Amino acid sequence: MTAKEHNLALFDEVGFQLTQCFANWPEGTWDEKLNEHAFSGREMIAHLLECYEAFLAGSRGEKHEWGTYSAPTDNPAELLALLVSKRAEARAVIEATDSDEVLGLSGSYILLHDAYHVGQLATLRLHLGGWDPYSIYAGH
């Protein structure tokens, strides 16, 4: 398995986990937080979108100014659709690259970062109730 193939496999795995964390989100709880310092589900999507934008900018050799991203909507369904779209755009960049630097950026801005936030989302979902934490594992 090449580094790119491994990267793409991990990209898909953590993408599945994110999908499961956001699946069937309880109505009316998109702004719930575990504490005042944590992200809500809605804020988490916007944050992840900024990370994908930072990856895409970096893949083009550009520098992203952190904190400048503003999601075009606050509607959870629209945010989730945008999340899926931006992840697909990022995946296409990874598939097309021959650059170790771009693979490294995807590891930092997407793979490790998404996995970190899967943990936060899983904890929030458990707090909100009615969610199977084992659903993040394919084949469960």
Torsion of CA 89, 5, 109, 92, to 10 degrees: -10
- Read off the pLDDT band of 101 (50, 70, 90): very high
The answer to whether the beta carbons of residues 22 and 77 sit under 8 Å apart is no
Residue found by looking up tokens 């550009």 in the block: 62
Rounded to an integer, the average pLDDT of 69-92 is: 97
User: Quick one: CA dihedral 95, 23, 118, 66, positive or negative?
Assistant: positive
**Mean pLDDT of all residues belonging to the chain:** 96
Using a 10 angstrom Cβ sphere, with 0-12 exposed, 13-18 middle and 19 or more buried, the burial of residue 115 is: middle
Q: Domains of the chain by range and CATH?
A: 3-136 (1.20.120)
Rounded to an integer, the average pLDDT of 117-137 is: 97
Rounded to an integer, the average pLDDT of 111-134 is: 97
Q: What is the pLDDT of residues 21-35, one digit of tens each?
A: 999 999 999 999 999
As a whole number of angstroms, the distance between CA 6 and CA 132 comes to 27
Length of the chain: 140
Q: What is the pLDDT of residues 39-80, one digit of tens each?
A: 999 999 999 999 999 999 999 999 999 999 999 999 999 999
As a whole number of angstroms, the distance between CA 34 and CA 32 comes to 7
